[in-house]
Structure 1
Amino acid sequence: MGNLQYQTSRFERLSYGGFFLGQNIIYTIQFQFLTYFYVEYVGLTLGHTTVMLLIAKLWDAFNDPIMGAIVDKCNFKQGKYLPWLKFVTYFVPLTLFFVFININATYNVKLIYAYISYIVWGMVYTVSDAPLFSLSTVMTDEIYERDKLISYGRLAAAIAAISSAVFMSIKANLGWTATAGIYCAFAFIVMFPLQFTAKERVKYERSSDITFKKVFQFLFKNKYLMIYYLGFMAISSTNTLQTMAVYFANSNLGDETMVTVIMGTTVLPVIIIAPFLPALIKGFGKKRITVVSSIATIILCVVQYYAGYDSLVVFLAIASVRVVFMQLPLLIYGMFTADCIEYGAYINGERTEGIAFSIQTFITKLSGAICGTLCLQLLYAFGYVEQAAVQSSETLQGIWIIVSLVPIIGYGIMLIVMAFYKLDEQEVERMIKVNCVHRIL
């Protein structure tokens, strides 16, 4: 596999995964429950919540490329990426805790507080993503080791998703703010060790006078990064299950705490398969996994819709299989970015990990904004009534369509996009050897 001194230790991989776990716990609970919190608990209207989240997420998303360029420009004595991660370890959990506070105030003040607290959290969270993913490229220069690192991160993300399954059950006993506080505290604990354990081993030749203009020029020359993230944005923008799970549980199944069963059953298979990602990639390649998963997702979406949810067992069985194929492309997207960074460095002669991974974050947040807005607008179109005890049959059918059929659009687009993506693992391995000029412990 190469020189052992450039392989990461198991403890490093665990702490790297731990940071991902905490970061994704933070991201998941706001992504999955925040709209429901604002509409059903704080009392904001569906319209105001839609506009507020869209504005905040778009503002947050467009900050990402700027943050990525700053990361590429800055070099600290303590390391290129670890100082950023030390900062966010403390402030990402803290700022999200304040988001989940329902202040005792008038409606307009509550809306203003929601805008300010959510935007502040989003800007702090922006600092975390590009340095975290970029760190994997300097901890090791071996593609299998790098994929192993990122797979630890994606496994941690899957665990974060399943941890969110019990959020509503805890909330039923402790309330929104206390439950969010528990999650934020745990996130901080598992994020904390990375700053002390990770090592930036690999150093690359970098221009000392690279400008912001050049950073963005290099970005847009990276055609495979642009191609891949067009498809990724499509599947992320239509991945409706997490956003709609609590609405589906409350309205269609009649019990909001059923989201625990839904998320637990659908995320557990992902956790089981995640540790095998490096072996799957080694055997089949990332592109083939993405293509096969997209085809399977489209088929299973149709099967899910026609099978219905009258039988909870049948619904959960199909959903658990469908989610595995839906999530596989979302588990390996960071590995695609890392490969595209090597391609960009190869053709440009300059490494710009920060801006490349910030595009990953930008697309993730932009597609999250699109998905959230799409779901809320479709709810409105299907006649959803805020805080109503019972929804109409048309609304219930609409919720089911959003949950089961909407993802077909995104995965169909990904299939088309993958026809134009030509990088494979062997080619990337060759580029890494050319790009890596020297290494240090």
Structure 2
Amino acid sequence: MEKGKFQTSRFERLSYGGFFLGQNIIYVIPFQFLAYFYLEYVGLKLEDVTFMLLIAKVWDAVNDPIMGAIVDKCNFKKGKYLPWLKVVTYLLPLSLVLMFINPDTSYTIKLFYAYATYILFDMIYTISDSPLFSLSTVMSSLPYERDILMSYGRFAAAVAAILSAVFMSIKEKADWTLTVVIYYFVAFLFMFPLQFKAKERVEYSRNKDITFREIFKYLFKNKYLLIYYLGYMAIGSTNSLQIMAAIFANSNLGSDTMVTVIMGVSILPIIIIAPFLPKLINKFGKKKITVFCSVATIIMCVIQYAAGYDNLIVFLILSAIRVVFMQTPLMLYGMFTADCIEYGAYINGERTEGIAFSLQTFITKLSAAVCQTLCLALLSVFGYAEQAATQSAKSLHGIWIILSLMPIAGYAIMIIIMGIYKLDEKKVEEMLEHNKRRDGNV
């Protein structure tokens, strides 16, 4: 089938992107604002928040491969992936609201409540991630269409970031919990249609008796999947913008509502670029795009740090340019995973989408935990004071260093990783055709 033809309907693709949008709204709100909520509103100590986020995220990340293996093992009458997504459509938005409640009680109980609700949220999110990405591989057998579906997802992530940019402005007119409830309804409405519109139309030859041990063995034989996610781990662990935006706006710019402007201006270019990703991939390939954007990110980090933030207009323009290069490689990660799944099926003879996409989720969460921990630990080093009216000059400069220069290390590592990663679009198509012939699915 030639490129431009589809096995899925337009509404089916839109519902897939819509679920991504709702899921990403639910992900980005705590990722950007939860640490700030705990520090400045609940009144938890910096060291307690740092330790809690690290422990909870590491524990949650460890669950992801286990969940992926369970997904690979389970086959329901109504589908392999959709039944999981039907459940989380209702539970995931609710778990978001529970996190942003500040109980009027003792410090110890507040800390315990934060642990319990955060871990609950992350475990429910784990159930949603691997099945959602894996669903694209059974909605269509066409590599080009899968890239389209993934680009819908990454476009949705960019839209979610835009929607989150007005969070603080809404919070000024409502309290924290009410603001999160508003986002709860928006996320739920976008997630709801997928369970009725998506179809698992592609059937693969699968070994129903595959053991958990074999599933994990196949994972570690997929060298390109492991190589790629070393690079993704590096950039995810140093991508400090979303974590630091609220703190930077409040401390360095003097108003936490400025985060709306920062995130809006920074993410808007991604909305423009995301729809063109499939065509850019078709022309240049994912690997070349990743290398180019990583080099450009390093250059823009240095330029932005040198320019400073005294001139707000210059700061916002440079932020918008820098974010385009920073976010583009992150928008491609699901497509890289889909390619590596074909490679894994090619060398192993078994399709293990669940464990592959769960590694993606595992690295995403683990890198987020590392990034949050690094940011908060560096804030402590630079003398950041919780709930202080003003910060010291050392602290303000430290916040700026974390925001502007920290990503350089991660993108430098990704450039090295891309030198080792050898899969390209042509090789993946050849592997896909080989897998189809072997399984009798031509």
Give the shorter-chain TM-score range. Answer: over 0.9
Which SS does the other structure have where 1:256 is aligned?
A: coil
1:384 aligns with 2:375: no
Which SS does the other structure have where 2:44 is aligned?
A: coil
Matched-pair contact (CA < 8 Å) for 1:6–1:201 = no
TM-superposed deviation, 1:94: 0.5
What RMSD in Å do the two structures reach over aligned CA positions? 1.2
Distance 1:5 1:147, change over 3 A: closer
Instruction: Kindly provide the CA deviation profile for residues 41-61 of structure 1, in whole angstroms up to 9, marking residues without a partner as x.
Output: 001000001111111111110
Which SS does the other structure have where 2:116 is aligned?
A: helix
Unaligned runs of 5+ in 1: none
TM-superposed deviation, 1:414: 0.3
Q: Give % identity.
A: 69
TM-superposed deviation, 1:185: 1.2
Number of the residue aligned with 1:166: 166
Q: Give the counterpart letter for 1:421 in structure 2.
A: Y
Instruction: Kindly provide the CA deviation profile for residues 6-41 of structure 1, in whole angstroms up to 9, marking residues without a partner as x.
Output: 621111111000000000000000000000000100
Unaligned runs of 5+ in 2: none
TM-score, scaled relative to structure 1:
0.98
Q: Give the counterpart letter for 2:323 in structure 1.
A: V
Number of the residue aligned with 1:260: 260
Matched-pair contact (CA < 8 Å) for 2:92–2:125 = yes
1:208 aligns with 2:208: yes
TM-superposed deviation, 1:5: 8.6
TM-score, scaled relative to structure 2:
0.98
Number of the residue aligned with 2:227: 227
Number of the residue aligned with 2:403: 403
Of the structure 1 ranges 121-130 and 429-438, higher mean CA displacement relative to structure 2 is found in 429-438
Q: Give the counterpart letter for 1:48 in structure 2.
A: D
CA distance in structure 1 between the aligned counterparts of 2:226 and 2:363, rounded to whole angstroms: 10
Number of the residue aligned with 2:368: 368
CA distance in structure 1 between the aligned counterparts of 2:360 and 2:254, rounded to whole angstroms: 37
Instruction: Kindly provide the CA deviation profile for residues 289-331 of structure 1, in whole angstroms up to 9, marking residues without a partner as x.
Output: 0000000000000000000001000000011000000000000
TM-superposed deviation, 1:103: 0.6
Number of the residue aligned with 2:110: 110
Number of the residue aligned with 1:249: 249
Number of the residue aligned with 2:57: 57
Q: Give the counterpart letter for 1:7 in structure 2.
A: Q
TM-superposed deviation, 1:439: 5.5
Which SS does the other structure have where 1:200 is aligned?
A: coil
Matched-pair contact (CA < 8 Å) for 1:162–1:267 = yes
Distance 1:3 1:272, change over 3 A: closer
Q: Give the counterpart letter for 2:196 in structure 1.
A: F
CA distance in structure 2 between the aligned counterparts of 1:99 and 1:143, rounded to whole angstroms: 38
Instruction: Kindly provide the CA deviation profile for residues 324-356 of structure 1, in whole angstroms up to 9, marking residues without a partner as x.
Output: 000000001000000000000000000000000
1:69 aligns with 2:75: no
Matched-pair contact (CA < 8 Å) for 1:203–1:438 = no
Q: Give the counterpart letter for 1:180 in structure 2.
A: V
Number of the residue aligned with 2:315: 315
Matched-pair contact (CA < 8 Å) for 2:3–2:144 = no
1:189 aligns with 2:168: no
CA distance in structure 2 between the aligned counterparts of 1:412 and 1:280, rounded to whole angstroms: 22
Number of the residue aligned with 1:344: 344
CA distance in structure 1 between the aligned counterparts of 2:369 and 2:65, rounded to whole angstroms: 16
CA distance in structure 2 between the aligned counterparts of 1:19 and 1:331, rounded to whole angstroms: 16
TM-superposed deviation, 1:264: 0.1
Distance 1:3 1:34, change over 3 A: closer
